[in-house]
Amino acid sequence: MSQHEKIQQYWNERAGSSAGARSATTDDIHLRDLEVTTISRVLAGKLAAGGTVLDLGCGDGDTTLRIAEACPGLRFHGIDYAPNMIALAQERLRDSPLRDRVSFAVGDATTLSTMRERYAAVITCRVLINIPEAAQQYDVVRQIASVLAPGGVYVATENFMDGQRNLTAARATMGLPEIPVRWHNVFFEREPLLVELRKHFADAAIEDFASSYYFATRVVYSAMCQMRNEKPDYDHEIHRLAPRLPPTGRFSPVQLIVATTRKAAA
């Protein structure tokens, strides 16, 4: 079994064991809330009503539906290569008032260029890091650009090694161990990814939108738990309050990518 197939199996199994919980794709649901708020804000500020957004690697559809609710003028199509995740997404959609402008289907990020439709935007939430090789990740970046309409926008939250290193150093000052990168993830280096993005997009930027959240939850709160000999709880009050902090510093592995394709010639 290839690494790609092993990762696909992991997400299929996680879908099967989640029973439709909001934690199907991440244990930290408050980080996901922050991602939803951030991506929704970018889409609302950049897209005109009537456009269609491709949610690439949509998982169980929770994020897609919540962003769709926040962006009522847009249509959404979510794809994921884990059939069990898509089954959960379609179950969520069945009784949703958003079903007239949201759809889900099985699809693979590595074969995007076969799609005929052109989208106003493509979004990914910690999806490209599940592609096991950097060369494949960069090829998917190219394919994302190829399915965007002129002036289309790619909005993503993906993980970066610079934030991982800064977080590890901050935790070390409190006597905390490193949070390891999971076996199925390959984090980006910021500068090489920017170089790659600028090959295919007219402009691209990477922002540290979750630094305060990570510092509060993974450094301060984790140190408190260590002092008290308690196990960290993803639903602790700090996790619920930290998304409201203004972003400052560079302590988050999860960072925001915003890249825009060239507009059509007049």
Read off the pLDDT of residues 208-257 as tens digits, 9 standing for 90 and up. 999 999 999 999 999 999 999 999 999 999 999 999 999 999 999 999 99
| Sheet order of strands, 203-207 included | 102-106, 75-80, 52-56, 119-125, 148-159, 254-260, 203-207
State the Cα–Cα distance between residues 164 and 180, nearest whole angstrom: 9
Please, what is the angle between helix 83-94 and helix 3-18, to 10°? 30
| Domain 3-158+184-202+253-260, architecture per CATH | 3-Layer(aba) Sandwich (3.40)
State the Cα–Cα distance between residues 39 and 119, nearest whole angstrom: 16
Q: What angle do CA 164, 166, 170 make, to 5 degrees?
A: 115
State the Cα–Cα distance between residues 164 and 156, nearest whole angstrom: 17
Joined together, the tokens standing for residue 199 give 């090959």
State the Cα–Cα distance between residues 188 and 185, nearest whole angstrom: 10
Q: Give the torsion sign (CA, 232, 211, 45, 265).
A: negative
Please, what is the angle between helix 83-94 and helix 62-70, to 10°? 40
Q: Where are the alpha helices (DSSP H) in the chain?
A: 3-18, 29-46, 62-70, 83-94, 134-146, 161-173, 190-200, 211-214, 222-228, 237-241
Per-residue pLDDT of the chain (266 residues; tens, 9 = 90+): 788 778 778 777 877 666 566 655 678 999 999 999 999 999 999 999 999 999 999 999 999 999 999 999 999 999 999 999 999 999 999 989 999 999 999 999 999 988 889 999 999 999 999 999 999 999 999 999 999 999 999 999 999 999 999 999 999 999 999 999 999 999 999 999 999 999 999 999 999 999 999 999 999 999 999 999 999 999 999 999 999 999 999 999 999 999 999 987 65
* pTM > 0.95: no
Whole-number CA gyration radius for the chain: 18
Closest Cα to residue 67, out of 168, 161, 157, 180?
157
